[in-house]
Amino acid sequence: MKQEIFLYLIGTAGSGKSNLAYNFKQWTNVHGLDSIVVNLDPGAENLPYNPDVDIRDWVKLSEVMESHSLGPNGAQIACADMLALNTDEIKKSIESFKTDFIIIDTPGQIELFVFRESGKCIINTLKPKRSITGYLIDHVLAKNPSGFISQLLLSLSTQFRLGIPQINLLSKVDLLTDHEKDEVLSWSKDADALELAISNQQPTIYREMSEEILRSLTSFMQQSTLFPVSKNEFLGMDDLYTHLQFVFEGGEDVLSD
């Protein structure tokens, strides 16, 4: 029996999680697949989609700020912990849908989901064996070899913390030149090319740190493919779908049913 797949979109603030959630949902609709989008950001404003399940029905940043006399940062932390308290309600709402994909748009600040216990609690309460992280690598940081290294390190930390399969996605590639995009993708496939790019940077302590971190990340890079995505013409949605089918369905394509 076919089962739903939970796709958690995670990345730094502004990396494009909400836009990707909207884009992948639109792509599934075009291809006759069912999907829903779950918003887990209690402080979200002006989302590009209408959430099918919305944490703001139970927890709102503005209300937490007012009721607990907290500033934005303190309220965000409090809201992150409240996510775990409302996991059962979220689960019931999701289970009311019969769908192929549950696309989960996580809070804008990555630390609120990845580095607090609420993220792991939500994953473990829903369906951990049918869950995968889509980690969005910020296109601006990725243009610089040391910035790309820092994003890979954060991606690895996310996978280590959450303990579920992960796919790395180079976000907003429509804002990169063809040369920049090709260069970043070549770094993701060839550690030697990335090491050369780092060695060509100004000799600083940061370059030395990047070289040392790269040596530690080399084996991880060999097991991870970077897929470019953007909002233009559903770029990368086919690759994302194919990877999800490979991980959970052994490569069987439900579109052929």
CA 229 vs CA 46, 69, 159, 196: distances in Å: 21, 40, 20, 26
Does residue 195 contact residue 211 with C-beta atoms inside 8 Å? yes
User: CB under 8 Å to 79, separation ≥6 — which residues?
Assistant: 42, 43, 59, 61, 64, 107, 112
* pTM listed for this prediction: 0.91
Residue-wise pLDDT for 203-232, tens only, equals 888 888 888 888 888 877 666 789 999 988
**Token pair 């836009």 is at which residue?**
19
Give residue limits of the domains in the chain: 5-139+164-175+225-256
Which of these, 221, 62, 75, lies nearest to 137 by C-alpha position? 221
What residue type is assigned to position 197 of the chain? Answer: A
Whole-angstrom distance, CA of residue 133 vs CA of residue 166? 5
Q: What is the pLDDT along the chain (257 residues), one digit of tens a residue?
A: 358 999 999 999 999 999 999 999 999 999 999 999 999 999 998 899 999 999 999 999 999 999 989 998 899 889 888 888 899 999 999 999 999 999 999 998 899 999 988 899 999 999 999 999 999 999 999 999 999 999 999 999 999 999 999 999 999 999 999 999 999 999 999 888 988 998 888 888 888 888 888 888 887 766 678 999 998 889 999 999 999 999 997 755 655 45
Residue-wise pLDDT for 227-250, tens only, equals 999 988 899 999 999 999 999 977
Does residue 254 contact residue 33 with C-beta atoms inside 8 Å? yes
**pLDDT score, position 223:** 66
Whole-angstrom distance, CA of residue 186 vs CA of residue 178? 12
Q: Which CATH architecture has domain 5-139+164-175+225-256?
A: 3-Layer(aba) Sandwich (3.40)
Please report which helix (H) or strand (E) contains residue 108, including its range. none
SS3 per-residue string spanning 31-73: CCCCEEEEECCCCCCCCCCCCCEEHHHCCCHHHHHHHHCCCHH
Does residue 152 contact residue 219 with C-beta atoms inside 8 Å? no
Q: What is the dihedral of CA 71, 56, 117, 141, to 10 degrees?
A: -70
For residue 234 the two structure tokens come to 């559903």
Which of these, 54, 61, 57, lies nearest to 81 by C-alpha position? 61
Sign of the torsion angle spanned by Cα atoms 57, 62, 63, 68: positive
